[in-house]
A and B are shown apart, each in its own frame.
Chain A
Amino acid sequence: MEPILDIKDLTKTFRNRGKSDLTVVDHVSFQLYPGEILGVVGESGSGKSTIAKLITRLIDATEGSIFMNGRDITHAKGAQLKDIYQQLQMVFQNPVGSFDPRRTLGDGIGESLRNHGVPKEKCRERVIRLLEQCGLSEEFAGRYPHEVSGGQCQRAAIARALAIEPKILICDEATSALDVTVQKQIVELLLSLQKANGLSYLFICHNLALVQMLCSRVLVLYDGKIVESGTPDEVILSPKSEYTKCLVDAVL
């Protein structure tokens, strides 16, 4: 099967003026296949969010290349990016900050639809449907980001990412602020979309139990490098690298 996302030797070096350069993502290569849930775990600061931003082209890669559906998108710009974002979406790590403070949640969720020419009335209906799917009532469409809780905002952020019906969804700790019951609902939603639409996920997560339950494969990131990869059971039950052992020990 052709990978839907093919990452080759992706590297990001932040050049600090004066101080030494900081390589945050170091020659990372992996593939994401259609309909797959690929977990990414790693300690804080290991470069998970940076990888997500690189793939979504929010920041430029220093080296390496990104292929989506066999197309090189490493240097995509403008209208090309708009096409890419129709298939690739992301749930941001900081949900409250990821909504414009002067706009309502409904406005933010419907923005991608409006940008792709969906008529207003239809847009509204779809926003309400999405909110419902993520466990929020219709009334939340009219609220401002500072008027909702972190978890509610996180669900709105998931609704926004799903609005345009992408093929690939990057979840940057998308369920971290949710309690177990809501988390279960979101996970079920993600799984049902995976089955119905063949959605693929890059699932960045701290919760090893959730990773074990959801993911078909998992990457372990340490200091910007992939130190281990395999099925969750392999990685969690018989870790090979020192770091993964520590990670697993810390949880169990």
Chain B
Amino acid sequence: MNETVTVRTQKIKSNHAKRRLCVFLVLTALLLLTALFSMQLAPYDPYAQNLEEAMQPPSVRHIMGTDQHGRDMFSRVLVGGRTSIFATLALVAVISVFGTCVGTLCGYYGGKLDSVIMRISDVCLAFPGLVFAMAVAALLGGGISNAVLALAVVSWPKYSRVARSQTLALKDGPFISAVRLAGSSSIQVVSRHILPNILGPILVTAMLDIGTMMMELAGLSFLGLGAVPPTAEWGNMMSTGRSMLQMYPWIVLSPGIGIFISVVLFNLLGDTVRDYLDPRNSRSR
């Protein structure tokens, strides 16, 4: 009796997680599609200046108003989203792949190389990320790709830490021993058996990281270390509008809404993915 009850609640729970996952996946897909086709969706040319219509408050014609050059804010937020979102996704993809590879190899082979790389990543983790990234970005010069690079340099250790500890937990376990006895080479052991087994935690880390990375990237742009005007990007749009915050708040608020929606959405997606992969939600294959 008791058993059936737990089985049923588990089932309901996992159904619930599945439904939530679907909802957020659809919303995220919408966001990505909007970003992808922003040029086509934008009602006005985001770069066309029209000084006669500068600093217009939100209205029916310009639902997010216009900026100091008379450019339509809504179009700029849409197009700026493409830069912000895809730069963030590229950043997270690069650091998660790179960090995972480094961490897995360090964990599996150990030795001197492992100690050296782990000390380097300790150093990276010891500084506040954004401050370190600012230093690196300043060194590299402006531009969105340099900002991505700067954040990548300081953010990969998080992934290598996760991958390394997961690998260490697996590598002396009985099933890796059995795989070795089957005559698999180290490369095969890592690629066929270790990586697939540690992918879950890495994926969750990456999903939850998208929001943070988006904020940090916008932060770098805000400080003038990322995308340079006139390129539309949420961070630098907020930066150019900050001096006009009191008089013309929509210039800052519009890209702010973009950042807010995307960060919240990616965080919620990350949370649901984590819930979904949680082993307590017994999955049926």
Residues of A within 8 A of B (CB): 53, 56, 58, 78, 81-82, 85-86, 89-90, 92-94, 97-103, 108, 111-112, 115-116, 144, 157, 160-161, 164
| Min CB gap A217→B, angstroms | 25
Could you say which of A81, A108, A115 contacts B178, with CB atoms under 8 Å apart? Answer: A108
Q: Are B178 and A92 in contact (CB under 8 A)?
A: yes
- Contact A112 to B177, CB < 8 A, known contacts A102-B196, A144-B285: no
| Min CB gap B75→A, angstroms | 46
List residues of chain B with CB within 8 A of the CB of A111: 179, 182, 184
- Contact A112 to B182, CB < 8 A, known contacts A97-B175, A98-B177: yes
B128 CB–A CB distance under 8 Å: no
Residues of B within 8 A of A (CB): 173-175, 177-185, 188, 193, 196-197, 285
* A/B interface sample: 23 pairs, CB < 8 A: A56-B177, A58-B177, A58-B180, A78-B185, A81-B180, A82-B185, A85-B182, A97-B173, A97-B174, A98-B175, A98-B178, A100-B179, A101-B175, A101-B197, A102-B196, A102-B197, A111-B179, A112-B182, A115-B183, A115-B188, A157-B178, A160-B178, A164-B182
A86 to B184, CA, bound (A): 11
A151 to B63, CA, bound (A): 68
| Min CB gap B208→A, angstroms | 23
Residue of B nearest to A95 (CB): B174
Residue of A nearest to B196 (CB): A102
| Min CB gap B11→A, angstroms | 17
Question: Which 4 pairs, one residue from A and one from B, show the smallest C-beta to C-beta distance?
Answer: A112-B182, A111-B182, A115-B183, A97-B174
List residues of chain B with CB within 8 A of the CB of A98: 174-175, 177-178
List residues of chain B with CB within 8 A of the CB of A161: 181
| Min CB gap A244→B, angstroms | 30
A144 to B180, CA, bound (A): 19
Q: Are B174 and A92 in contact (CB under 8 A)?
A: yes
A94 to B178, CA, bound (A): 11
A97 to B184, CA, bound (A): 18
Main secondary structure of the interface of B (DSSP, over half): helix
- Contact A92 to B179, CB < 8 A, known contacts A100-B197, A115-B184: no
Query: Could you say which of A78, A97, A100 has the most chain B C-beta atoms within 10 Å of its C-beta?
Result: A100
Q: Are A89 and B181 in contact (CB under 8 A)?
A: yes
A129 to B175, CA, bound (A): 23
Q: Are A100 and B174 in contact (CB under 8 A)?
A: no
Residue of B nearest to A115 (CB): B183
A86 to B188, CA, bound (A): 17
| Min CB gap B189→A, angstroms | 10
Q: Are B174 and A94 in contact (CB under 8 A)?
A: yes
List residues of chain B with CB within 8 A of the CB of A102: 196-197
A82 to B179, CA, bound (A): 11
List residues of chain A with CB within 8 A of the CB of B179: 100, 111
List residues of chain A with CB within 8 A of the CB of B174: 92-94, 97-98
List residues of chain B with CB within 8 A of the CB of A108: 178, 182
List residues of chain A with CB within 8 A of the CB of B197: 100-102
Q: Are B183 and A92 in contact (CB under 8 A)?
A: no
Q: Could you list 15 further interchain pairs (A-B, Cβ under 8 angstroms) beyond the known A92-B174, A97-B175, A112-B182?
A: A53-B177, A56-B177, A56-B181, A78-B185, A92-B178, A94-B174, A97-B174, A98-B174, A99-B175, A103-B193, A108-B178, A108-B182, A111-B184, A160-B182, A164-B182
| Min CB gap A52→B, angstroms | 10
| Min CB gap A86→B, angstroms | 7
A108 to B197, CA, bound (A): 15
List residues of chain B with CB within 8 A of the CB of A115: 182-184, 188
Q: Are A112 and B183 in contact (CB under 8 A)?
A: yes
| Min CB gap B186→A, angstroms | 8
| Min CB gap A91→B, angstroms | 9
A164 to B174, CA, bound (A): 19
List residues of chain A with CB within 8 A of the CB of B285: 144
A111 to B181, CA, bound (A): 10
A101 to B169, CA, bound (A): 14
Q: Are B183 and A99 in contact (CB under 8 A)?
A: no
| Min CB gap A66→B, angstroms | 15
